[in-house]
Chain A
Amino acid sequence: MSSKYWKILAAILAALAGANLLVLPHHPHFEAEAVPGFWAAFGLLGGLALCVAAGAMLGPLVRINGREGDGR
């Protein structure tokens, strides 16, 4: 991804995090949800954790070759 798109993404995320300071849930499902930035952290750290877990745990698994679905 080019630096231009990185900057656009950073601006959007900063705006969302800023909005979270103003907008909070009236009826949070659990206490942490009411903390500003919780869902930003959940999205980032949870996403990284999922990627690393998927890559680390499933990457070394046996890969079966020769049955790829390439047809139409």
Chain B
Amino acid sequence: MAAEMVGFVHPSLAFLGLAALLPFARGRINWKPLTLIPPLIAVATAVWLSFSLEGGQVVLAKMHWLGNTLVLARADKLSLVFMHVFALQSLLAAVYALYQDTPAEPAAAALHVGGALGCLLAGDYLTLFVFWELTSIGSTLLIWLRRTDAAQAAGYRYFLFHIFGGLLLLFGLILRYKATGSLAFEHVAPGPLALYDMLILAGFAVNAAVVPLHAWLSDAYPEASAMGSVYLCAFTTKTAVYVLARAFSGFEPLTVAGAAMVIYAGVYALVESDARRSLAYQTIAQVGFMLAGIGVGTEMALNGACAHAFAHVAYKGLMFMAVGAVITSTGTGRMERLGGLAKAMPLVAACYLAAAASTSGLPLFGGFTTKSMTIAAASGFNTWLGLALELGALAAILAVGVRLPWLVFFAPEGQAEPAAPVPNCMKAAMAGGALVCLGLGVMPGALYAILPYKVDFQPYTAWSVLQSLMLTGFGVLAYMVAKNVVAPLPGRLADFDMLYGAVGRVFYKLVSQPLAFVDGIWSEVYRTVGLRGLMEKARFAAVFDRKGIDMVVDGAAYAAGHLGGVAATAQTGRLQTYLAASLALAVAVFAGIWLWP
């Protein structure tokens, strides 16, 4: 279908407009309802495009710049499935965030979401890069705006990492343009990659939190505010999943990276004591599922990766909402201080359990109909990959499906008690998120219909239901037997961020000490040789100034004064003298002309 036949408003414009407006809105207008408008536009646009595209790809907006055609918006089924869930989650998160009394964080969130939606629709690398950076700036502001020392520090580290990833992407796209003459953001043929594609892949990998480039995520997400972490968990990594699916599907090393993420982060999530840090590690693990599907690259695997990204945005967002509500009410997210909150916060507990059922892959909930598709495709590709993903699924069940809700809601009561009520907007958003999780499990056909490829997968069979129940049931037994081994402890675990710090310090020493040595020698040489030379030079300059410059200047002044005196005496006032002088001059001129050879 031609672009002009598709009515289109770039949803990023609405979000970026809101981000620009909100900083000036405080005290002047009732800004809270405005935060719901861009998400509603995004939802409407996603639905409208789904009905309009008829399965093809269409360029919706482009511009010419420096001899290049930039595709500002291009939509197909791959981008639309992500656009649907981004729009939906932005609406739920905006409702959740209505408790905010100042517009700063909603403005940062709008910038973040606007950038992410722009990435989904970008048809060239330059447009992608611009929106990529906007996403990073918005998310960094979201972390900083919690305004604690820990948030400032974590946000700074987060920003450094994303600058690093952005630079890799920028170098890659420049080299790619130089080599191919094209900025088009298209699929790269699997196989050995050119250097520029490796750089682009590495830039994407940073945002996808691929181990060992992942520690920014588990470091920063728990430091944001309740609403901040709800936004952060949904958009950054899933944007990276989308661009990887777009450009690098079928690139088999991604299967290894995905399996490593699933196991590594799954184990970390099992022992972290901060509820949101545990969720953050599980976010990395679930992105690993998606990367494994992208690496396998078959139609079923890509469908599975996209479907799981959709479900994960919904249920992980709901988990962060529920834990954010607990933090809002009790003042802490530390699991060693929490416990027994199900009685005091039944709605929050019920909503969290809906998300936990999804992440555990229980029938009737989202994860069951999406994760199983990825695992089935991965098992068909390689048995060990399938088993690694099953082990990762078990780790997810243990960590955030059983351990977290047990410690927060059902274990004997902890020290922290609910002190503040949970705002109604939070409750409404959580209820909406739980309905989405349930809907994805009960009516998977609606999701399957918007996946990139035709779905030939039946999630509900007697065996798949039994297998999922056995894995979860015996996983619960394993946790109950071994729960003291993974009991929450004070503090947080060291991870690769300590290694980054150590590498940074070693680099600093390697650079600073030789430089300090060279600087010391240079200072000595300068003091003994350079300074003396400089003083001689200064002495010469002073003499030259006195004897040369002053003399010339003074002499010129004296000569001008003398000449002025002569000229004054020559002006007698007698006409005869002037005529005689004029005649003498004329004769001299004519003689010169006449006699000149």
Contact = CB atoms under 8 A, between A and B. Distances in A.
A17 to B, nearest CB: 7
Interface in B225-260: 225-226
Contacts of A70: 327, 331-334
A44 B394 CA distance: 10
A19 interface: yes
A29 B276 CA distance: 34
Contacts of A35: none
Contacts of A26: 463
Contact of A72 (B331, B397, B398): B331
A43 B493 contact: no
A69 B478 contact: no
Contacts of A69: 150, 222-223, 274, 276-277, 333
Given A50-B395, A51-B485, A52-B485, A43 B491 contact: no
Nearest to A62: B494
Interface residues of B, number: 65
Nearest to A37: B470
A47 B398 contact: yes
B57 interface: no
B394 A47 contact: yes
Interface string B136-162: 000000000010101101100000000
B482 A47 contact: yes
B485 A55 contact: yes
Q: Determine the main DSSP class of B at the interface with A.
A: helix
Contacts of B481: 48
Nearest to B327: A72
Contact of B474 (A13, A19, A55, A65): A13
Contacts of B477: 9, 13, 43-44, 47
Nearest to B150: A67
B363 to A, nearest CB: 13
A71 B153 CA distance: 15
Contacts of B479: 47, 51
B394 A58 contact: no
B386 interface: yes
Interface in B319-376: 324, 327-328, 331-334, 376
A71 B146 CA distance: 8
Interface in B368-402: 376, 379-380, 383, 386-387, 390-391, 394-395, 397-398
A30 B491 contact: no
Interface in B534-556: none
Contacts of B473: 9, 12-13, 16, 40, 43
A59 B334 CA distance: 17
A46 B327 contact: no
A67 B493 CA distance: 11
A63 B494 contact: yes
Contact of A71 (B225, B466, B492): B225
Contact of B491 (A40, A45, A64): A64
A23 B386 contact: no
Interface in A8-50: 9, 12-13, 16-17, 19-20, 23-26, 29-30, 39-48, 50
A40 B386 contact: no
Interface stretch (B15-23, B206-214, B264-272): B264-272
B588 interface: no
Interface string B35-54: 00000000000000000000
B425 interface: no
A6 B481 CA distance: 11
Contact of B471 (A19, A43, A65): A43
Nearest to B474: A43
B103 to A, nearest CB: 18
Contacts of A16: 466, 469-470, 473-474
Contact of A9 (B274, B276, B471, B476): B476
A70 B490 CA distance: 12
B255 to A, nearest CB: 15
Contact of B492 (A29, A47, A67): A67
Contact of A50 (B386, B398, B480): B398
Given A47-B398, A70-B334, A58 B267 contact: yes
A47 B475 contact: yes
A55 B332 CA distance: 23
B274 to A, nearest CB: 5
B135 interface: no
Given A50-B394, A68-B492, A72-B331, A19 B478 contact: no
B271 A63 contact: no
B492 A63 contact: yes
B102 to A, nearest CB: 14
A61 B494 contact: yes
Contacts of A50: 266-267, 270, 391, 394-395, 398, 478
Most buried by B among A39, A40, A47: A47
Give me the 4 closest cross-chain CB pairs, A-B, nearest first: A47-B478, A43-B474, A63-B491, A29-B379
Given A44-B478, A50-B394, A63-B493, 18 more contacts: A9-B473, A9-B476, A23-B466, A26-B463, A29-B383, A44-B474, A47-B398, A48-B478, A48-B481, A48-B482, A54-B268, A55-B485, A57-B267, A63-B491, A67-B153, A70-B327, A71-B225, A72-B328
Interface of B: 146, 148, 150-151, 153-154, 222-223, 225-226, 266-268, 270-271, 274, 276-277, 324, 327-328, 331-334, 376, 379-380, 383, 386-387, 390-391, 394-395, 397-398, 462-463, 466-467, 469-483, 485-486, 489-494, 498
Interface of A: 1, 6, 9, 12-13, 16-17, 19-20, 23-26, 29-30, 39-48, 50-59, 61-65, 67-72
30 contacts: A13-B477, A16-B466, A16-B474, A25-B467, A26-B463, A29-B376, A29-B379, A29-B380, A29-B386, A41-B474, A43-B470, A43-B474, A46-B391, A47-B474, A47-B482, A48-B478, A51-B485, A54-B267, A54-B268, A63-B492, A64-B498, A67-B150, A67-B492, A68-B334, A68-B491, A69-B274, A71-B327, A72-B327, A72-B328, A72-B331
